[in-house]
Amino acid sequence: MTLIKNIQVVDGSGKPAFKADVLLKDNKISAIGQFPNKKADLAIDGLGLYLSPGFVDVNTDSDHYLSLFTDPAQEDFLTQGVTTTFAGHCGSSLAPLIYGGLESIRKWADITKVNVDWHSVAEFLKVLGKIKLGVNFGTLVGHGTIRRALTGGQIRDLTDGELMIFKNLLRDSLKEGAFGMSTGLNSAHARETPYLEIKELVNIVAENNGVYATHLRNEKEGLLSSIQETLKLADETKAQVLISHLKPLAGFEEDHKDALEMMKSPNVHFDSYPFGVTVVPIHTMLPDWAQVGNFETLRSYLDTPHIKERLVKDLMAIHGDELGDIRVSQAPGLPYLIGKTVRQIAENQNLDLSEALIKLMLLTNFRAIVFHKNINQKMIVDSLFHRQAFVSTNGASLPSDPDILKDERFYNTFPKFLEIINRDKNLSLENAIKKITLEPAKKFGLKDRGLIKENNIADLNLFSFGADGKFRLSYVIVNGRLAVKDGAVQNILAGQVLKRE
């Protein structure tokens, strides 16, 4: 039994904080009240601290980076108070795998590092359960993962037979515990996916009370039409919809304002983060026409003189001088490139910026991850206070490695959000906590998490704000077990694999 004494409870409901003692038994909240004489195995003095539910991150990438396997403790989430994560976004998931391969994620990770011994969602979740994780984990089904397996990577409509197979596989995956389905409609392989195909699949998601998450078809000049398409889909299917990492890209700020005005439906949310940098596989910097095909196809483009000449011109036309600010986050096998900008590489090699970027793609065989500073920082922060906004890292917990340059959003998104709240007072602390606990928990159908209430699961954070306004996390409790003590991660993997009820 654990007793948390003298704590200011911010319970996740949005109601004013109140002082109480909170008693935990096994993995649940046993009682809330005043217990001056209660004995417990562990007593925590919460004087001067707030107690909140553990934070829920609706959009994470530890599956894409395979760090669920290389960093099962998921410390980058724990140390910012995240106790529950959802993955399988942007059309890519680790299950179901029709042919047992992970080709859909090789742009993010070295897929040879994992021995794939699963096909179905049920088998995948069973494997994760044996590994044990530091945080709770739930997954969506990746539309692109299934579709590319069915079509062999061809860009075409599904046949009636293929669509039937897809629908049956989706139904099975939802029954086995998947929380819904995601699409990555911006990718070259999915951009031409017919609306009616998506609608038929999302109808199945809605029938099973799942979530449909989507990376929009176009986040630039086609942003508003992409939003309209998504809102139409939500209206026609009645599904719970989540627009992934909606952001004001530089040059398209007015369209972003209009997009936020359109977000009025109670079953449509979006997620975002308080930083101005995107983290992307390097091949996504190419013009759309050049992203069609696998890595081998892309290499053939760059090895063909007249196509390479066109690419050099198009890259400058699309990105301009900002190409030089692109910074290398990961370059497997080439550690000397970590942290380097395209401008530094261009100057060192006496190349134009476009040529330097192409050389970087070839050197890394398209497996580099880069930082691209292309977001209006003030607008993306302001968007977090929208009534339909969730906060997400859209990142992964990565192992400490000098060959990996982590973006701040991977490890500091939730503290940064709460520090902004504490500084600017543009939202009460109680409503800010509700936005990152109870509301996303409800969205994903988690009935016993996201709220400090008797008999709910004990996923909890104890935190404060320093005199400098900085967020200070003292304790994290995951499923009733102390995972962070005095700010330090404990050697306890208390997370659970979550399944949609």
- Whether residue 388 contacts residue 227, with contact meaning beta carbons closer than 8 Å, is answered with no
2-53+453-489 topology per CATH: Urease, subunit C; domain 1 (2.30.40)
Angle between the 253-262 and 223-237 helix axes, to the nearest 10 degrees? 10
* Residue in 209, 263, 248 with CA at minimum distance from that of residue 386: 263
**CA 319/CA 315 separation, integer angstroms:** 6
Alpha helices in 392-437 (DSSP H): 409-424, 429-435
Domain with CATH 2.30.40.10 in the chain: 2-53+453-489
**Residue with structure tokens 């001056």?**
36
Give how far the C-alpha of residue 321 lies from the chain's centroid of Cα atoms, to the nearest Å.
Answer: 29
Torsion sign (Cα): 300, 305, 307, 311: positive
Domain with CATH 3.20.20.140 in the chain: 55-277+375-443
Provide the β-strand partners of residue 41.
none
CB-CB neighbours of 280 under 10 Å = 18
Please give the structure tokens belonging to residue 302: 């760059």
Angle between the 353-363 and 342-349 helix axes, to the nearest 10 degrees? 100
* Residue in 275, 268, 226, 311 with CA at minimum distance from that of residue 407: 275
55-277+375-443 topology per CATH: TIM Barrel (3.20.20)
* Residue in 51, 161, 76 with CA at minimum distance from that of residue 474: 51
Please give the structure tokens belonging to residue 62: 């530890």
pLDDT tens digit at each of 501 positions of the chain: 999 999 999 999 999 999 999 999 999 999 999 998 888 999 999 999 999 999 999 999 999 999 999 999 999 999 999 999 999 999 999 999 998 778 778 878 888 888 899 999 999 999 999 999 999 999 999 999 999 999 988 889 999 999 999 999 999 999 999 999 999 999 988 999 999 999 999 999 999 999 999 999 999 999 999 999 999 999 999 999 999 999 999 999 999 999 999 999 999 999 999 999 999 999 889 888 888 777 788 888 888 888 888 988 998 888 888 899 999 999 988 999 999 999 999 999 999 999 999 999 999 988 899 999 999 999 999 999 999 999 999 999 998 888 889 999 999 999 999 999 999 999 999 999 999 999 999 999 999 999 999 999 999 999 999 999 999 999 999 999 999 999 999 999 999 999 998
**CA 119/CA 18 separation, integer angstroms:** 48
Distances (CA, A) of 267 to 77, 231, 297, 471: 27, 10, 40, 31
